[in-house]
């Protein structure tokens, strides 16, 4: 077989026969076929990391659940994207996200435009069964145009990846582990004092919540603009040809 030969795999998603190339994930194929698997960390144009785990799917004939954004399909697989088990799992994840930080929707700049809020509505999460941790996270308004509120961060990693993979600055990164994890600027400095930040705002607009926002926005005024990402990815692919 030639090194350039692309293998085609055939399998089913929710009973629908589909096919995939060897470099495509389950989530890629699902989206191509109009199947909407929920996710909060995955975004077209950025490397998938499987951080939020909302996109877990079941593999027929086994007890396995795998993150569809990073899992590659195998020949003959029977993939299930919606089940009572998956719904309960996804509801639990969303509830834990709300309980770990201080998501007060009524006073948030992205109220009505928040992906976490929309995901809760989609999954029917109308109350939280877990105790709120009420952490005390700092706010950083030192940047002239933007601000960061760690109380509203869900640690999806989008801002880290877009800064590294698209802008090429790698201003942001993750520190600590578990519920103590924080998105930091450079070596955990103030955003406004960063020597690497270009002020492009890409991190702000890929953020799914109000953790990153433009200054001067009032409650419910911060609607994220993500049109730039697929355009930049398309342009880069065109330049490489």
Q: Please, what is the average pLDDT of the chain?
A: 94
Look at residues 94, 25, 83, 27 and name the one whose alpha carbon lies nearest to residue 54: 94
The length of the chain is 241
For residue 230, the model assigns a pLDDT of: 78
The alpha-carbon radius of gyration of the chain (Å, integer) is 19
For residue 46, the model assigns a pLDDT of: 94
For residue 214, the model assigns a pLDDT of: 97
**71 and 25 in contact (C-beta within 8 Å)?**
yes
DSSP secondary structure string, 132-185? -------EE--SSSEEEEGGG-----HHHHIIIIII----EEEESSGGG-EEEE
pLDDT one-digit tens code per residue, 98-136: 999 999 999 999 999 999 999 999 999 999 999 999 999
Helix, strand, coil proportions of the chain in percent (round to 5)?
30, 15, 55
Say yes or no to pLDDT of 4 above 70: no
What CA–CA distance (Å, rounded) separates 160 from 57?
26
Structure tokens at 227: 């049109």
pLDDT band at 144 (very low <50, low <70, confident <90, very high): very high
The residue-averaged pLDDT of 54-62 equals: 96
The residue-averaged pLDDT of 135-156 equals: 96
Strand order, beta sheet including 8-13? 16-21, 8-13, 78-80, 56-59, 65-67
| Domains located in the chain, CATH noted | 8-82 (3.10.20.740), 104-240 (3.30.70.20)
> With a threshold of 0.85, does the pTM exceed it?
yes
- Please, which residues bridge with residue 70 across strands? none
For residue 238, the model assigns a pLDDT of: 66
**64 and 81 in contact (C-beta within 8 Å)?**
no
Say yes or no to pLDDT of 209 above 70: yes
């Amino acid at each position: 077989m030639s090194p350039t030969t692309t293998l085609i795999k055939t399998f089913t998603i929710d009973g629908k026969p589909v096919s995939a190339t060897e470099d495509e994930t389950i989530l890629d194929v699902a989206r191509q076929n109009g199947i909407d698997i929920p996710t909060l960390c995955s975004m077209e144009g950025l490397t998938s990391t499987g951080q939020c785990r909302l996109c877990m799917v079941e593999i027929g004939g086994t007890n396995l659940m795998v993150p569809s954004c990073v899992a590659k399909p195998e020949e003959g697989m029977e993939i299930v994207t919606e089940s009572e088990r998956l719904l309960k799992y996804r509801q639990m994840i969303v509830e834990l996200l709300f309980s770990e930080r201080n998501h007060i929707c009524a006073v948030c700049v992205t109220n009505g435009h928040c992906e976490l809020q929309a995901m809760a509505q989609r999954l029917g999460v109308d109350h939280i069964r877990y105790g709120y941790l009420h952490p005390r996270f700092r706010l950083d308004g030192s940047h002239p145009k933007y601000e960061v509120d760690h109380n509203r961060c869900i640690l999806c990693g989008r801002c880290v990846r877009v800064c590294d993979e698209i802008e090429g600055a790698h201003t942001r990164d993750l520190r600590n582990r578990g519920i103590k994890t924080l998105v930091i600027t450079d070596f955990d400095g103030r955003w406004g004092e960063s020597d690497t930040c270009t002020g492009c705002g890409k991190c702000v607009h890929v953020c799914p919540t109000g953790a990153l926002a433009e200054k001067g926005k009032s409650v419910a005024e911060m609607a994220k603009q993500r049109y730039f990402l697929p355009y930049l990815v398309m342009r880069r692919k065109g330049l490489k040809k």
